[in-house]
Amino acid sequence: MYSEHAQWTPQYTVERVMREHIETIECVQARSACELQSFTQNDSGVAVTLVDLRTGLTSEVETQYIVGCDGASSVVRDLIGSRLEGAFGLSRNYNVVFRAPGLAAAHSHGQAIMYWQINGEVPSHIGPMDAGDLWFFMPTGLAPDVKVTKENAGDLIRRATGIDLPFEVISVDEWTAHRAVADKYRAQRVFLAGDACHLHPPYGGFGMNMGIADAVDLGWKLAAVLRGWGGAALLQSYELERRPVHMHVLKEASQNHSKVGAALFECGLEDESEDGELVRNRVGQRINAEKLSEFYTLGTILGDRYLDSPVVQKLLDRDAPPRDFLNYIPSSMPGARAPHAWLHDGSSLFDHFGRGFTLLVRPAEDHGDIDAAVLHAERQGVPFSVLRLDNPAVNCLYEHRLTLIRPDQHIAWVGNKWPKSSELDVFAMVTGRSSRINVRVPNSEESIHE
């Protein structure tokens, strides 16, 4: 289904890994304690005013584009006149990070990434931050007048866990859950991505994943335009592709958020009696049924597809497979994520895709049309590679003889024969230099392009 498992990693580790990688990229300059204050833009570029927070000095940077990845209170969003629309203040929460040597061994529940403490007094989530003694604690459903502080957090953790250890509280952050999305993702040369663009409750763990996927979608498109092979429709497609994904995930996350600690509690849950046992069984069944979509999310995470994108071929005679949070149904329809397979040398199919567009050709026999595809790519300056595979599993996953895969591993076009450029200029369509053409592509080896 995929080449890499999901990882449970604290954000400070993800950021360290990304920072270390950024430092190896020559053309990237990373600045900390540096704030974007304002910008002006015209047809040829953007002039950005930055302030160094240590010295208070301002400086100007001239650039072609900016992407506002500046989080929930995005300044860039305000400056382009975009507004978050949705429901605000869904719940008030705290994130407490604390050190607790011995906590992992002080309970009998075994190792987990997160423990849900369902009780009438301090419903909460708790779990290890990493392999050391650092933990997080998140009380849920607090009364409006309750304030969690560094002073009272240790006591709350003791009441929630029933475990008395010397908890060292390191930080207490208050955060509020919202469900909202920006009413526009772009103003000319300025884009929004990540939490600057969409906010939802963190139940399901979709937020950072979705922000990274925004960057994956937008990154190659900006590169294409800057290098001269991407057209205007490519940048327009960013919002058209990502907004439906955001709306879908916002719905899933909000549903998950409606069933947290306090909502799952029933009186008598902790009674040492037969009745208590019955309540525990009933609550257990409810948890299994109602929380499934929060913890089994492969369909939500891998099932996103860009069916109505102007730079993706539209198949007239195919319905997209249903979206199911639990079951990710790989599909080779244009717009879908390219299905994954392991090859017989143990490598991942994805590692054989090029850094630009990849034409996956199956079976290995040559119809002579691939040379034309190579020529079309060369003429238009599109980075392109051909991957010929005759692997039965890959043949099953990819319905058509030819599948054109974008740099972000979504499928752009399928067919059984590479069309003559007088019939259809595939590269012009998928790189946003001409409008989309709707086609019917048969299952069989005959080729029909309308």
Contacts with ligand FAD, residue ranges (CB under 6 A): 11, 35-36, 69-72, 75, 95, 175, 194-196, 202, 205-209, 211
Contact of 124 with 168, CB cutoff 8 Å: no
Using the minimum distance from each CB to ligand FAD, give the nearer residue, 33 or 364.
33
Q: How far is the CB of 30 from ligand FAD (least distance, A)?
A: 11
Using the minimum distance from each CB to ligand FAD, give the nearer residue, 206 or 306.
206
Using the minimum distance from each CB to ligand FAD, give the nearer residue, 300 or 309.
300
Q: Which two tokens stand for residue 264?
A: 């799952």
Q: How far is the CB of 191 from ligand FAD (least distance, A)?
A: 12
Q: How far is the CB of 68 from ligand FAD (least distance, A)?
A: 8
Q: How far is the CB of 83 from ligand FAD (least distance, A)?
A: 17
What does 82-123 look like in DSSP terms, one character per residue?
A: --EEEEEEEEEEEEEEEE-TTTTTSSSS---S-EEE--SS--
Report the SS3 class of residue 360: strand
Q: How far is CA 338 from the centre of its chain?
A: 16
Run of H or E residues at 187: strand 186-187
Q: How far is the CB of 425 from ligand FAD (least distance, A)?
A: 36
Using the minimum distance from each CB to ligand FAD, give the nearer residue, 95 or 434.
95
Q: How far is the CB of 208 from ligand FAD (least distance, A)?
A: 3
What does 206-269 look like in DSSP terms, one character per residue?
A: -HHHHHHHHHHHHHHHHHHHHTT---HHHHHHHHHHHHHHHHHHHHHHHHHHTS-HHHH--TTT
Using the minimum distance from each CB to ligand FAD, give the nearer residue, 75 or 134.
75
- What number of H helices and E strands is found in the chain? 12, 18
| Residue 126 per-residue DSSP state | E
User: Which of 248, 350, 255 shows the shortest CA–CA distance to 300?
Assistant: 248
Using the minimum distance from each CB to ligand FAD, give the nearer residue, 139 or 230.
139
SS3 sequence of 297-338 = CHHHHHCCCCCCCCCCCEECCCCCCCCCCCCCCCCCCCCCEC
Using the minimum distance from each CB to ligand FAD, give the nearer residue, 115 or 320.
115
Contact of 361 with 402, CB cutoff 8 Å: yes
Q: Which residue is nearest to ligand FAD (CB)?
A: 194
Report the SS3 class of residue 190: strand
Q: How far is the CB of 35 from ligand FAD (least distance, A)?
A: 4
Strand ranges (DSSP E) for 288-432?
Answer: 314-315, 357-361, 384-388, 402-405, 411-415
Sign of the dihedral defined by the CA atoms of residues 183, 185, 186, 190, in that order: positive
Q: How far is the CB of 229 from ligand FAD (least distance, A)?
A: 28
Pairing of strands 84-99, 168-182: antiparallel
Using the minimum distance from each CB to ligand FAD, give the nearer residue, 75 or 370.
75
Q: How far is the CB of 120 from ligand FAD (least distance, A)?
A: 23
Using the minimum distance from each CB to ligand FAD, give the nearer residue, 95 or 380.
95
Q: How far is the CB of 239 from ligand FAD (least distance, A)?
A: 16
Contact of 361 with 418, CB cutoff 8 Å: no
What is the C-alpha to C-alpha distance for residues 336 and 327, in angstroms, rounded to an integer? Answer: 15
Using the minimum distance from each CB to ligand FAD, give the nearer residue, 189 or 376.
189
What is the C-alpha to C-alpha distance for residues 349 and 1, in angstroms, rounded to an integer? Answer: 11
Sign of the dihedral defined by the CA atoms of residues 336, 297, 215, 130, in that order: negative
